[in-house]
Amino acid sequence: MKYPCRLDKFLSKAAHISRSEAKKYIRNKRVNVNNYKNINAQLSIHTGDRVSLDGNELSLTTHQYFMLNKPLGYVSTEAEANHPSALSLIDSPRKIHAAGRLDIDTSGLLLLTSDGQWSHKVTSPNSNKFKHYRVTLAEAISDDELRKLEQGILLRGEDKPTTPAKTARLCQTEFILSISEGRYHQVKRMCAALGNKVIALHREKIGEVTLDQALKPGEYRELSETEIRCFT
């Protein structure tokens, strides 16, 4: 984008929001330019101007946003001894990190970005985004047990039950579990609390962003502007 440019256009690009949302934020005094709040959407922004939204300074540095179909055997953090990192599968000139984690033996949707503020929104419990997992169990699961998972279940070593979840049965030993929290090994521990064992786990969706069916394990693509906006 070229400078000078209108404030609403700058805001829409930098914060991944629509032009009408940008105008609303400006009207609601959530935006300031060089510490002034008394501004309007047509204001010209020049190189070096400091634009903030809710106190966070925005920049037009182009961040990158990806979805990866994480293969089994990869960690979602930096590489560990003998285990390759999912980050190494992405060809990016920027330093990227995973927005949330998947275990080494979990496959599926992993979001990666260079934008720390964005990944915070993806993972923040306040964002209330459901993560959808296809769970394969060692033993059949009953309808009663699915209800227990939905209502909230006490995990070993914790004193607060999990928050309400959603389930959809696929067969006797497979179901979709949708949870909005991200506790340590949560899905495996929820199933362990029922005396069962997860033998395969695949994440299909986070919020409104679904793993692209065209991506084979290990393949990735950039997120669309609409997908990026799902978390802003």
Active site residues: 103
Tokens in use for 72?
A: 């089994």
Whether the Cβ atoms of residue 194 and residue 154 lie closer than 8 Å to each other: no
User: Taking CB under 6 A as the rule, does residue 155 contact ligand URA?
Assistant: no
- Could you give the CA distance from residue 88 to residue 144 in angstroms, rounded to a whole number? 42
- Among positions 123-152, residues that touch ligand URA (CB under 6 A) are none
Q: In angstroms, what is the minimal distance from the CB of 220 to ligand URA?
A: 18
If the CB atoms of residues 11 and 67 are measured against ligand URA, the closer one turns out to be 67
Q: Judged by CB under 6 A, how many residues of this single chain contact ligand URA? A: 8
Q: Using CB under 6 A, which of 15, 201, 211, 228 touches ligand URA? A: 201
User: Taking CB under 6 A as the rule, does residue 86 contact ligand URA?
Assistant: no
Looking at residue 164, the DSSP 8-state letter turns out to be P
Beta strands (DSSP E) in 114-230 are 131-137, 166-171, 174-179, 198-206, 209-210, 220-222
- Could you give the CA distance from residue 195 to residue 59 in angstroms, rounded to a whole number? 50
Element (H, E) at 53: strand 51-53
If the CB atoms of residues 98 and 102 are measured against ligand URA, the closer one turns out to be 102
- Among positions 95-124, residues that touch ligand URA (CB under 6 A) are 102-103, 106
Residues that bind ligand URA (CB under 6 A): 102-103, 106, 185-188, 201
